[in-house]
Amino acid sequence: MLQIFHNNRCGKSRNCLSMLESSGKEFEIISYLTTPPTAAELKGILEKLGISPIDLVRQKEKTWIDNFKEKDFTDEELIKIMITNPILIERPLLISEEKAIIARDEEKIINFLKK
């Protein structure tokens, strides 16, 4: 089953959810701000995305700028930071059994849902 890491306050996330609803595919909505992923779940998502933790961080987010910018962190530390501050996780995320995407681009979403 597909999952969407969703933030209802985000227009890109709402658009992705709408496209997902229109697809007719079965999916689960993960409200990651109130139910953050575990370290193991986040590592699995990163693996499916094929990116490093820093690439999943919303680096323009105020929380990042105020508390973490200009500092060096290990991948493990970044994962802990995102779990503790889920607002820093890039959104929306579309996740299947085999892969995941940062679903900010409609064409990416369409291609993801085709497979």
What pTM value is reported for the model?
A: 0.94
Q: For the segment 54-84, what is each residue's pLDDT rounded down to a tens digit?
A: 999 999 999 999 999 999 999 999 999 999 9
56 by Cβ neighbours in 10 Å (0-12 / 13-18 / 19+) ranks as buried
User: 2-114 architecture in CATH?
Assistant: 3-Layer(aba) Sandwich (3.40)
Active site residues: 10
Question: DSSP letters along 57-98, please?
Answer: B-TTSHHHHHHTTT----HHHHHHHHHH-GGGB-S-EEE-SS
pLDDT-derived band at 19 (thresholds 50, 70, 90) equals very high
Residue extents of the structural domains in the chain: 2-114
Q: For the segment 86-106, what is each residue's pLDDT rounded down to a tens digit?
A: 999 999 999 999 999 999 999
Q: How far apart are CA 49 and CA 61, in angstroms?
A: 21
Mean pLDDT of 14-28: 96
* The pLDDT value given to residue 108: 95
* The pLDDT value given to residue 97: 95
* The pLDDT value given to residue 115: 75
Q: What is the mean pLDDT of the chain?
A: 96
CB of 2 closer than 8 Å to CB of 96: yes
Q: How far apart are CA 50 and CA 71, in angstroms?
A: 23
